[in-house]
Amino acid sequence: MKYLKIFIILLSFSLIFACSKGDEVVVKAGSSKLTKKELQEDLKSLPPQTKVFLPSPEGVNRLKDELIKREVLYEEAKKKDLAKSEEFKRRVEEFKKITLINMLLEQELKNLPQVTEKDAKDYYEKNKDQFIKPTEIRLSQIVVKNEEEAKKVYEKIDKGEDFGNIAKELSKDEKTKASGGDIGFFKKGQLSPQIENVAFNLKKGQISMPLNLNGNLYIFKVTDVKGTAVEFEQIKEQLTEQLRAKKQQEWFNSYIEELKKKHKVEVNEKALQEILNQNLIGGKPEETPQKTK
């Protein structure tokens, strides 16, 4: 299906057919026809950066070439009766499902309040410690021997348990566990590159993924940051987008929970596991044990 999207990098169709009628045929290949209206619908998804190519004569020729490719391929597919195949029907149904889901989400998201610059500014003022360009950070650590122990650490973190208390309970590093894993302040250049690349990209209060160092797994938390605050104007667009994404994700999670209550959901766990075993794990479906006589 990839070739059907090739033309999105090309130029606006309006330059070529500005005087065409709404239903005029733009390209014809055998019995296949592409009308102006159909093409205009296709080109609505053009990204803004693509439109810089609109005035180019080369773009006009490339557009025509891509439209011809699309229609001759479509005509050939019809001649081979691929539309009658079960695979085609399956793909069409899948496409319909995804399209309807996207249309539903687009419709529902229209009712979601937009994140404004004021919202971003308010968040910035209340959380300035998140927007410090660090020159020095204070770290705490938990050291474990394997992934199973690391999993236990993250389970406790997810439950809201204090990082320092978890370090006292589970950390294997005897030198730091008594202090809740605190290892002090560090400036850039004082840590190994592997640790520094991770730690200096964490914000205050954030916890790292486990790092494999010297045969153990290290989990770090930034407990304090010293440095200079990033000006709001430098990050307002990025922050607004982050808050928008967060709001949409929160709405989506809530919306899904509502729909689960509204629509009866049933999962055949046995059938699901059999499919996973056959197609992903590479195993065979379990056979029902037979009694021995």
Give me the amino acid identity at 235: I
Residue 144 Rama label (left phi>0; alpha psi -120 to 50; beta): beta
Task: In whole angstroms, give the CA distance from residue 112 to residue 249.
Answer: 11
Res 55: pLDDT: 60
Q: Which domains does the chain have, with CATH numbers?
A: 2-108 (no CATH), 129-229 (3.10.50.40)
Phi first, then psi, for residue 217 (nearest 5°) are -105, 125
Res 124: pLDDT: 94
Task: In whole angstroms, give the CA distance from residue 151 to residue 160.
Answer: 14
Q: Could you read off the pLDDT tens digit of each residue along the chain, which spans 293 residues? A: 333 343 433 333 333 333 444 578 888 888 888 888 877 777 777 666 666 665 677 767 777 787 888 888 889 998 999 999 999 999 999 999 999 999 999 999 999 999 999 999 999 999 988 888 888 999 999 999 999 999 999 999 999 999 999 999 999 999 999 999 999 999 989 999 999 999 999 989 999 999 999 899 999 999 999 998 899 999 999 999 999 999 999 999 999 999 999 999 888 999 888 888 887 665 544 444 444 43
Task: In whole angstroms, give the CA distance from residue 39 to residue 160.
Answer: 53
Task: In whole angstroms, give the CA distance from residue 235 to residue 241.
Answer: 10
Res 236: pLDDT: 93
How many CB atoms are located within 10 Å of the residue 288 CB?
5
Res 293: pLDDT: 39
Q: What is the pLDDT of residues 208-265, one digit of tens each?
A: 999 999 899 999 999 999 998 899 999 999 999 999 999 999 999 999 999 999 999 8
Res 279: pLDDT: 75
Phi first, then psi, for residue 214 (nearest 5°) are 55, 35
Q: Is residue 150 a contact partner of residue 274, using CB atoms and an 8 Å limit? A: no
- Contacts by 11-20 with C-beta closer than 8 Å and gap 24+? 11/50, 11/53, 11/54, 11/55, 11/56, 11/59, 11/60, 11/62, 11/63, 12/43, 12/46, 12/51, 12/54, 13/39, 13/40, 13/43, 13/63, 15/54, 15/55, 15/60, 16/60, 16/63, 16/64
Task: In whole angstroms, give the CA distance from residue 145 to residue 172.
Answer: 8
